[in-house]
A and B are shown apart, each in its own frame.
Chain A
């Protein structure tokens, strides 16, 4: 059977290209779903029906004329609201940028639009991507489609919830410490963080510049692979983007896992991991073993320091990156300031949320005179140790398997008053960002409340082809990815 006919994005693209479905009808249908779900889920910050339908009609007209269509022509997608679009607002989930209209398009937006995709809306996020639940959005939280009393995860909660609720077949999020993978795990969809430098960050509002990557979200590994191919590649406007050639991520995806060495580290399966999550992850590893993979024990002794290391480096970088939000050139400006310093202080205090302020201050502290060496510099050295643990491990294995999160989705409000508890939830995801690895979360089961559990697979830098093959091998043997939350329409 033709694999391309089976995954939602590839299937939709084919149906539109062949004329079986009109882009206008597809987009209209999805806009209806988005509208119907918005009050319940809060996945979107903005969406533009007029623009989306106009673009859809253009594609239908082009098709009718026999014109050439891009590989994603007519496919409706969503993009996280920290990614600059030259239409609508780019708010970063923040009051300060509530009315900010970007004068330029992010590289990934240009790539998707050139491929013919229709970006129907901008999705909700924790403010400036700082958070693990999308409760830190200045506007409203995004709710988990599986249980609307629970968090969707974050910071890319809006993009992930939109895909999980089948509002759009694919979306882009960003991942600095787990922000694509963690919500994907909580909402039962596939989310990938590419290798650092794989995807251009031009137009992604920077949080942690040495950690950030834009990543695709979809319900099927093949669609994630397809989106990855559509957005990857060198961009001279991002000095950290890699010139590494972009393979066809679909061509090897069915190669299976015979002989693939899957690493498992005890440091990932220790205390604090929910019993049911552990069970699902171990079962998933067995699935890979059954498909021909060899499971190998590896040691990552510095993993236990990943959260501390991450929260010093990311916040230090953030304190620098967010210095630009001062009310001078864009964003909300406070009234009545007598001098420039007051302007900065008042605009920032009024416009930035509590978690953003907390992280800016933590980062400022870590970089400040008298503390820089013991905190920021120390964290950079520990980062070297973490990275070298992975370099060693990847000499023995091809991918590393682990949980994505220590729990399934918890109730909204449960951790908002305890920042440290919130940070500790990132324990399995931050190391991939610190070491620049590629990593993916795939649906791996449900707990006894029916809440999704994700399996994380990590690969060495530019190891996406084998990573995707391993992820697809798991998907092919299970059907978790086909299960949709209650009250959602089919694909």
Chain B
């Protein structure tokens, strides 16, 4: 389970997390995350063969409501914190440019 937390790994994870890091931050996080993950290594020694995962402390079940219409936020309320509103929409830059397509 030993992982080497190097700068390429940190950059990869940052990209997955949609976070932009400076080079200094990449170095610092590599070191800090390395130490934390080293501590996590202890879990590798725990015998979990035949153990089911627990994602949730209560009994797993799907809690559904009736498929009936109910009031939600008004459009104005939903848009009330919009950084850039246009009509009844959130305005954003174009989705893709050439390089990220």
Q: Which residue of A lies closest to B1 (CB)?
A: A374
Q: Is the CB of A311 within 8 A of B36?
A: yes
CA distance A228 to B54 in the complex (A): 27
- A239 engages B58 (CB within 8 Å): no
Closest to A342 in B: B93
Tell me which residues from 67 to 100 in chain A have a Cβ below 8 Å from any Cβ of chain B: 99-100
Indicate if the CB atoms of A380 and B97 lie closer than 8 Å. Answer: no
A210 is an interface residue with CB less than 8 A from chain B: yes
Contact B18 A341 (CB under 8 A): yes
Contact A361 B29, beta carbon cutoff 8 Å: yes
Point out the residues of chain B lying under 8 angstroms from A378, CB to CB.
Answer: 1, 43-44, 46, 48
Q: Judge whether A345 and B46 touch: CB under 8 Å.
A: no
Chain A residue with the shortest CB-CB distance to B2: A374
Chain B residues within 8 Å of A348, by CB: 17-20
Is A285 close to B, CB under 8 A?
Answer: no
Q: Is the CB of B80 within 8 A of A101?
A: yes
Which chain A positions have C-beta within 8 A of B56? Answer: 210, 240
Are B100 and A339 in contact (CB-based, < 8 A)? yes
B21 at the interface (CB under 8 A from A): yes
Closest to A197 in B: B58
Cross-chain contact B83 with A330 (CB below 8 angstroms): yes
Which of A309, A346, A362, A436 has the largest number of chain B CB atoms within 10 A? A362
Closest chain-B Cβ to A195's Cβ sits at a distance in Å of 9
Is A330 a contact of B81 with CB atoms below 8 Å?
yes
Chain B proximity of A127: nearest CB distance (Å) = 14
A435 at the binding interface (Cβ < 8 Å): yes
Residues of A within 8 A of B29 (CB): 357-358, 361
Instruction: Judge whether A116 is part of the interface by a CB distance below 8 angstroms.
Output: no
Q: Is A326 an interface residue (CB 8 A)?
A: yes
Q: Which residues of B contact A341 (CB under 8 A)?
A: 18, 96, 100
Instruction: Let me know if A329 and B58 touch, CB within 8 A.
Output: no
B92 touches A377 (CB 8 A): no
CB-based contact B17/A384 at 8 Å:
no
Would B18 and A308 count as touching, CB distance under 8 A? no
Within 8 A of A (CB), among B36-55: 36-37, 39-40, 42-44, 46, 48, 51-55
The stretch that binds B, out of A36-44, A164-172, A182-190, A364-372, is A364-372
Q: List the B side residues contacting A173 at CB < 8 Å.
A: none
Asked if A340 contacts B96 (CB within 8 A), the reply is yes
Alpha-carbon distance between A272 and B96 when the two chains are bound, in angstroms? 52
> B1-24 vs A: 1/0 string, CB under 8 Å?
101000001100110111111000
Residues in chain A near residue B82, CB distance under 8 A = 329-330
B44 to A: closest C-beta gap in Å? 7
Is A361 a contact of B19 with CB atoms below 8 Å? yes
Residue with the highest number of chain A CB atoms closer than 10 Å, among B3, B29, B53, B94? B53
- 6 more A-B residue pairs beyond the given contacts A308-B40, A374-B1, with a C-beta to C-beta distance below 8 A: A305-B43, A307-B39, A308-B42, A312-B40, A375-B43, A434-B57
